[in-house]
Amino acid sequence: MKSEKLIAKSVREIKPSGIRKFFDIASGMKDVISMSVGEPDFVTPWNVRQAAINSVERGLTHYTSNSGLPELRRLIREYLNDRYDVHYDMNDILVTVGASEALDLAFRALIDPGDEVLIPAPSYVSYEPGVKLAGGVSIPIVTEEKDDFVIKPENIEKVITEKTKLIIIPYPNNPTGAILDKEDIIRLQDLVLKHDLFVIADEIYSELTYSRMHQSFAEGFEDRTVLINGFSKAFAMTGWRLGYAAGPKEIIQAMLKIHQYTMLCAPISSQYAGVEALSSEMNRDYSQIREMVRSYNRRRVFLVDSFRSMGLPCYEPKGAFYVFPNISPTGLSSEDFCTKLLLEKKVACVPGTAFGESGEGFIRCSYATSMLNLEEAVKRIRDFIGGLN
């Protein structure tokens, strides 16, 4: 029997990630500047690494409770309360293997076959496959540059059916860098109530905002929201695989049921690192995070200005660490632009289409890389565009 026939239909039908594709091509080439992967170039702060080392030295090498260390969940509760005025009981918080696992658990706990899930587009690459693997149907809600890539309630109204169950609210957004303001949130919350929907809010970039403090969708809306966040982005901890979900008790218990049979718990040393990351930042008024954000901000401003000076319209991102310039004036498709740029100038970006069809005409450039790299990348992109005319 051909082994591909053994692969489940739902898995056969999902495409490999368009981000990884460009990253993999780039990693096989020399002298490439990569703006393709969304992970901080900062190393995890030393005090956090030290806490994990200490935990290993003390012999803390076992499983934790399935939900996660009580100390960590207490801190997450305090952090959400202190930072975003969001209130969940510590027993309604589940520590997961990255925000990625939290998303997967939420999909599997909430989706029955055929349930429709509304997903702003363009959006993070994992939502659509995650929904499909859980048996759901993704319904994209296109967001546009002219609306600051904010999801419009009237566009949601048009696609709601009796099968619509969930809406993903992914702000600050990857890849656009869009955020929601209070009025947007209120309008969307009204719509959620009107149609009796439930929300999965992916707020993994909540600490990385540039125009103002993040406003959580879960604030005052805790009973309708599974809030997903984690340590990867704000604490420069991608490799530790530490995230969490907070939500209504019954839903977190359902997610816990899957988690205890599949993952058991997040790695214990990562959880001790997380305790240190949260407690030290809370004690120093988030100054280490603010320092990183200041650095990202310098790069953000540089990239937006650079793309605009090349004649490419570029939405000014308000959060995360990506710019999403409009490359349609070049006449190239997103995929062609990125392929040619990589092969001819050795700069790796991601085609907007990796984030859904509505990303056609855009590319995503991560500025989580050094200013030196960004300056060289901009020089090469300028040359590339100059060569097209």
Ligand X SMILES: Cc1ncc(COP(=O)(O)O)c(C=O)c1O
Q: How far is the CB of 374 from ligand X (least distance, A)?
A: 19
Q: How far is the CB of 366 from ligand X (least distance, A)?
A: 10
Q: How far is the CB of 267 from ligand X (least distance, A)?
A: 13
Binding track over 174-193 against ligand X, x by CB under 6 A: x-------------------
Q: How far is the CB of 173 from ligand X (least distance, A)?
A: 7
- Candidates 20-28, 49-57, 97-105, 258-266 — which segment interacts with ligand X by CB under 6 A? 97-105
Q: How far is the CB of 5 from ligand X (least distance, A)?
A: 31
Query: How far apart, in whole angstroms, are the C-alpha atoms of residue 298 and residue 372?
Result: 12
Q: How far is the CB of 332 from ligand X (least distance, A)?
A: 25
Structure tokens at 2: 């051909």
Query: How far apart, in whole angstroms, are the C-alpha atoms of residue 304 and residue 15?
Result: 31
Q: What is the edge-to-edge ordering of all strands in the sheet holding 225-230?
A: 93-96, 243-246, 225-230, 198-202, 164-169, 116-121, 137-142
Binding track over 98-137 against ligand X, x by CB under 6 A: xxx-----------------------x-------------
Q: Shortest CA distance to 259 belongs to which of 95, 57, 138?
A: 95
Our finding on whether 276 is near ligand X (CB under 6 A) is no
Our finding on whether 164 is near ligand X (CB under 6 A) is no
Nearer residue to ligand X within complex by CB, 45 or 319 = 319
Q: How far is the CB of 30 from ligand X (least distance, A)?
A: 26
- Listed in order, strand segments (DSSP E) in the chain are 33-34, 93-96, 116-121, 137-142, 164-169, 198-202, 225-230, 243-246, 322-323, 347-348, 350-351, 363-366
What three-state secondary structure class fits 372?
Answer: helix
Nearer residue to ligand X within complex by CB, 64 or 174 = 174
Q: Shortest CA distance to 200 belongs to which of 177, 167, 233, 171?
A: 167
Backbone angles phi, psi at 175, to 5 degrees: -105, -5
Is the sign of the CA dihedral 159, 160, 162, 166 positive or negative? positive
Q: Cβ distance 131 to 115 under 8 Å? A: no
Nearer residue to ligand X within complex by CB, 209 or 306 = 209
Q: How far is the CB of 23 from ligand X (least distance, A)?
A: 12
Q: In DSSP terms, which residues pair with 364 in a beta bridge?
A: 350
Query: How far apart, in whole angstroms, are the C-alpha atoms of residue 38 and residue 335?
Result: 18
Binding track over 194-233 against ligand X, x by CB under 6 A: --------x-x-------------------------x-x-
Q: How far is the CB of 88 from ligand X (least distance, A)?
A: 18
- Candidates 94-102, 112-120, 342-350, 375-383 — which segment interacts with ligand X by CB under 6 A? 94-102
Alpha-carbon separation of residue 182 from 2, 217, 301 (angstroms): 54, 9, 24
Nearer residue to ligand X within complex by CB, 205 or 337 = 205
Query: What value does the CA radius of gyration of the chain take, rounded to a whole number of Å?
Result: 21
Q: Cβ distance 206 to 216 under 8 Å? A: yes
- Candidates 93-101, 193-201, 273-281, 347-355 — which segment interacts with ligand X by CB under 6 A? 93-101
Binding track over 35-74 against ligand X, x by CB under 6 A: ---x------------------------------------
**Which residue is at the shortest CB distance from ligand X?**
98
> 174: Cβ–Cβ under 8 A, 6 or more apart, which residues?
38, 123, 124, 205, 320, 322, 355
Q: How far is the CB of 174 from ligand X (least distance, A)?
A: 4
Our finding on whether 319 is near ligand X (CB under 6 A) is no
Nearer residue to ligand X within complex by CB, 100 or 138 = 100
Nearer residue to ligand X within complex by CB, 96 or 330 = 96
Q: Which of residues 329-388 bind ligand X (CB under 6 A)?
A: none
Distance of CA 196 to the CA centre of its chain: 25
Name the site residues for ligand X (rule: CB under 6 A).
38, 98-100, 124, 170, 174, 202, 204, 230, 232, 238, 243
